[in-house]
Structure formats: C-alpha cells, structure tokens
Amino acid sequence: MNKWHTDERITGWLQILQIAVVEITGEKSAPILMPNAPLKSSTLTELHTRLERMMGASACRGVEIRIGQAAFHIFLSRMAEDFGFFLPEIKFLPVKRKIMAGLQLLAEEYLRLTGERMSVLETEDAYEVTIPPAVKEIPSIYTGCPLLIGFLKEYVIWAGGGKFYQILEKSCCVDGNRTCVFHIRKVPLD
Ligand SMILES: [Zn+2]
C-alpha cells in the first residue's frame, strides 16, 4: 500500500474522530478540543489534555469512551463497507465468528495505519485484543485507550446482535506495560 493511500486513510479516521468530538461535546467545544490541524502522532494526546482541562480528570474518561462509541457509528456509515463489514461472508457468520472476523479486519487496518501488529486472540471466555502503542517514543503518555474501549463497545454490540458485552483493559502502556490488552467477555451481559 502506497504512502498516499495511507495518508488518505489517516485523514478518514481523523474526520471520523472530529465528527464524534462534535457529536459528544457540542459545536462550541469541539473546535477548542480538536482544532483543524493535520494529524500528528500527538493528536490523541492533545485532545486528551484539552478534554481533561475542560472537564476535569474524573469526567474526561467517560467523555472519551462516549466519543469512541460515537466514532464507531460514524465509521460504520463511512468506512465499514470498504472494510468488508457488510459482505455476506462476514455479515451472516454466527455471532462469535463474526466478532472475531471484524476484529481481524480492524487489526489489518491498524497495521496499515501504524505499521504495528495488533493481535486478536480467543480465550475460553474472552476475545483478547493486544495493541502495541502506535507511537513508539511516547508509550508512557496517553494513547487513546478509552476512545478505543468506546469504539470496541459499540463494535461488539453491532457484531453481537445488539447485546452488551463487558470490556476491560487488563493492562495499559501508560502503566509501563509493553502493550495494551483489552478483554471482551464472550458471554453478553443480560
Ligand atoms: Zn492502554
């Protein structure tokens, strides 16, 4: 995949994030939180820093999860078709296989965007998503995990036929770990 194509994709993701920020924080706050600037490795960190300043640390995480949730739905309408999410061979899979298949497609995208390999495994009771930080030089600062939790939350509701699944981040780069590990419980919540 050539550079131009990758830049296009990054721009596409940036637009999704910007729309999600507007949806969740409103037309007035969004331009302050995420000014129209080219995507840099520090974009997520800057968004986080501004959000924390605006809303306080305790509200910030919840707002970020909601931005991630909104982003999934924007992704679904803008990008998911290109991903193959609606191909019959994905769409009509049994729920558990469909969840895994979509996660694999997202892992391929992560590789295209960052050059880093995100792994998706199945354990007895969970889907396990392991993500190396996209930005090697700053693994100890914010890497967008609550945004991803929100995104995955809505993804599994969509792929899992409308049911809710518990998602936990078992370990995080921010705490000095080499990777961020997310567990999605296989058994949906009632
Ligand atoms: Zn993390």
Residue-wise pLDDT tens digits, 180-189? 999 999 999 9
Is 3.30.200.20 the CATH number for 3-185? no
The rounded Å distance from CA 45 to ligand 1 centre is 12
CA of 24 to the centre of ligand 1 (A): 22
pLDDT, position 65: 96
Residues 50-85 pLDDT 10s: 999 998 988 999 999 999 999 999 999 999 998 889
Confidence at residue 1, expressed as pLDDT on a 0 to 100 scale:
42
State the Cα angle at 185 between 146 and 165, rounded to 5°.
65
pLDDT at 19 over 90: yes
Domain residue extents for the chain:
3-185
**Residue 51: Cβ-neighbour burial (10 angstroms; 0-12, 13-18, 19+):** buried
What is the per-residue pLDDT for 176? 80
88 alpha carbon – ligand 1 mean position (Å)? 33
